[in-house]
């Protein structure tokens, strides 16, 4: 089929990848007579996930948000306990704690990686602090040596919201393996997706056993399935987090295609990084910074404009050229619920405020072909910062 070079079919910000066997596995699950949880696809997806992440334990959940909720239920903070959370993240990183009566304490991020600023963590610690939650923004690792050292010195847990970081590394160690627990998201916009899905990775067997109970309405049903108990009973608090086989089947197909997905995403990421370097230098725009020792999973690509007016103008400029670009994360510390339920660390979060106003995210998905990426790059580089 001949495609005109003037074709201006809009390029979406995102297009969920459909993995090779995704539909076949869904069909198989539907016809197998086993569509609820705990079936063969749940087992297989969990095994593949442990292989990809190197995690000792993994439990699937129905979203990244419910993975964080599950993790917070397992962690069990007392009301009034504090958890250090970056201001610049998705609401679910903080909501999970608020639902348990704990208080998120918002700390600012670094201007280069947009990650929790490790230099500001210590000033936010009080005698109520229980944990430090890190978000590896764009899958580029937080400064884990320093954060782990601070946590150990103060007797705090490290917890990872690793929604961006599946496949990323910090000094040869996979992201999601630094904390007591880590949450993953398989939302449609993430590298591995089943529409809505998530998982918790856990380092200790005791926590993993509790997670199995909490995600099954507080019952020991999993032990019943394994033949370890004669009947299952209500043994703890809990809710319903187990994904259906239909979702798990999609995850299996996605995880089997993980290397292919990642290969394509890295190629797109590099395409932007190289293709936009001169323009960015010339226009005073900054690009993602990947510190030494960090290997990222090409989750997202962003540009940081000098101010909000230029950010808005660039998005409009791209839209006119059929390219959908977006921005995200309204800082949590100054959001209505953040102010009601959380506390802001001394010094406030000026960097989070500033980057939230200036960021543009470009289309990045494994099926973005070279020709379309060329169109995005041409559209960006025809913009002049004013």
Where on the chain is the footprint of ligand PLP (CB under 6 A)?
63-65, 89-90, 92-93, 135, 161, 163-164, 185, 187, 198
Q: Residue 213 CB, nearest distance to ligand PLP (Å)?
A: 22
CA distances to 88, 135, 268, 328 from 116, in Å: 8, 7, 26, 16
Pairwise CA distance, residues 192 & 261, whole Å: 8
Pairwise CA distance, residues 337 & 334, whole Å: 8
Answer whether 181's CB lies under 8 Å from 202's CB. yes
Nearer to ligand PLP, 105 or 192 (CB): 192
Nearer to ligand PLP, 103 or 184 (CB): 184
User: Nearest 10 degrees: CA dihedral of 296, 167, 174, 42?
Assistant: 160
Answer whether 104's CB lies under 8 Å from 342's CB. yes
Nearer to ligand PLP, 135 or 280 (CB): 135
- Residue 342 structure tokens: 């959380």
Nearer to ligand PLP, 198 or 285 (CB): 198
Q: Residue 192 CB, nearest distance to ligand PLP (Å)?
A: 11
Nearer to ligand PLP, 41 or 88 (CB): 88
Q: Residue 368 CB, nearest distance to ligand PLP (Å)?
A: 19
Q: Residue 77 CB, nearest distance to ligand PLP (Å)?
A: 18
Nearer to ligand PLP, 90 or 279 (CB): 90
How many residues can be counted in the chain?
386
Q: Residue 92 CB, nearest distance to ligand PLP (Å)?
A: 4
Phi-psi region of 108 (alpha: psi -120 to 50; beta: other; left: phi over 0): beta
Distance, C-alpha 19 to centroid of its chain: 20
Q: Residue 230 CB, nearest distance to ligand PLP (Å)?
A: 36
Pairwise CA distance, residues 51 & 201, whole Å: 12
Answer whether 181's CB lies under 8 Å from 160's CB. yes
Give phi and psi for 337, each to the nearest 5. Answer: -75, -35
Strands 57-61 and 198-202 come out as antiparallel
Answer whether 71's CB lies under 8 Å from 96's CB. yes
Q: Residue 117 CB, nearest distance to ligand PLP (Å)?
A: 17
Nearer to ligand PLP, 70 or 163 (CB): 163
Pairwise CA distance, residues 310 & 138, whole Å: 22
Q: Residue 164 CB, nearest distance to ligand PLP (Å)?
A: 6
Q: Residue 197 CB, nearest distance to ligand PLP (Å)?
A: 7
Nearer to ligand PLP, 64 or 77 (CB): 64
- Residue 176 structure tokens: 């999601």
Answer whether 333's CB lies under 8 Å from 349's CB. yes
Consecutive H or E run containing 266: helix 258-275
Q: Which single residue brings its beta carbon nearest to ligand PLP?
A: 64
Nearer to ligand PLP, 168 or 198 (CB): 198
Give the SS3 label for residue 31. helix
Nearer to ligand PLP, 89 or 310 (CB): 89
Pairwise CA distance, residues 253 & 256, whole Å: 5
Q: Residue 329 CB, nearest distance to ligand PLP (Å)?
A: 8
């Amino acid at each position: 089929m001949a495609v005109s070079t003037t074709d201006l079919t809009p390029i979406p910000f995102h297009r969920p990848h459909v993995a090779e066997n995704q539909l076949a596995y869904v069909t198989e699950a539907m016809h197998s007579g086993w569509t609820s949880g705990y079936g063969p696809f749940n087992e297989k997806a969990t095994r593949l996930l442990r292989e990809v992440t190197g995690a000792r334990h993994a439990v699937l959940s129905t979203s990244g948000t419910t993975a964080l909720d599950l993790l917070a239920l397992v962690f069990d903070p007392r009301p009034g306990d504090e958890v250090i959370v970056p201001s610049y993240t998705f609401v679910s990183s903080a909501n999970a704690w608020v639902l348990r009566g704990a208080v998120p304490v918002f700390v600012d991020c670094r201007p280069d990686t947009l990650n929790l600023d490790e230099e500001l963590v210590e000033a936010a610690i009080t005698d109520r602090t229980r944990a430090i939650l890190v978000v590896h923004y764009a899958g580029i690792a937080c400064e884990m040596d320093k954060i782990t050292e601070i946590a150990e010195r103060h007797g705090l847990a490290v917890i990872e919201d690793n929604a961006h970081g599946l496949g990323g590394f910090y000094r040869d160690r996979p992201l999601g393996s630094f904390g007591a627990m880590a949450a993953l998201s398989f939302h449609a916009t993430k590298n591995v997706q089943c529409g809505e899905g998530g998982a918790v990775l856990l380092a200790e067997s005791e926590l993993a056993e509790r997670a199995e109970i909490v995600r099954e309405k507080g019952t020991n049903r999993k032990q019943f399935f394994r033949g370890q108990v004669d009947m299952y009973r209500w043994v703890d608090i809990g809710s319903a987090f187990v994904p259906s086989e239909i979702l798990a089947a999609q995850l299996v197909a996605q995880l089997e295609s993980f290397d292919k997905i990642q290969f394509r995403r890295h190629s797109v990421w590099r395409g932007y990084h190289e293709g936009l370097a001169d323009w960015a230098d010339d226009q005073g725009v900054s690009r993602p910074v990947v510190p030494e020792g960090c290997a990222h999973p090409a989750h997202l690509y962003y540009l940081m404009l000098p101010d909000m007016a230029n950010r808005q103008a660039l998005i409009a400029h791209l839209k006119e050229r059929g390219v959908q670009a977006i921005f995200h994360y309204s800082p949590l510390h100054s959001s209505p619920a953040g102010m009601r339920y959380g506390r802001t660390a001394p010094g406030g979060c000026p960097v989070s405020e500033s980057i939230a106003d200036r960021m543009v995210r470009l289309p990045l998905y494994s099926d973005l072909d070279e020709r379309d990426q060329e169109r995005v790059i041409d559209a960006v580089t025809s913009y002049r910062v004013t």
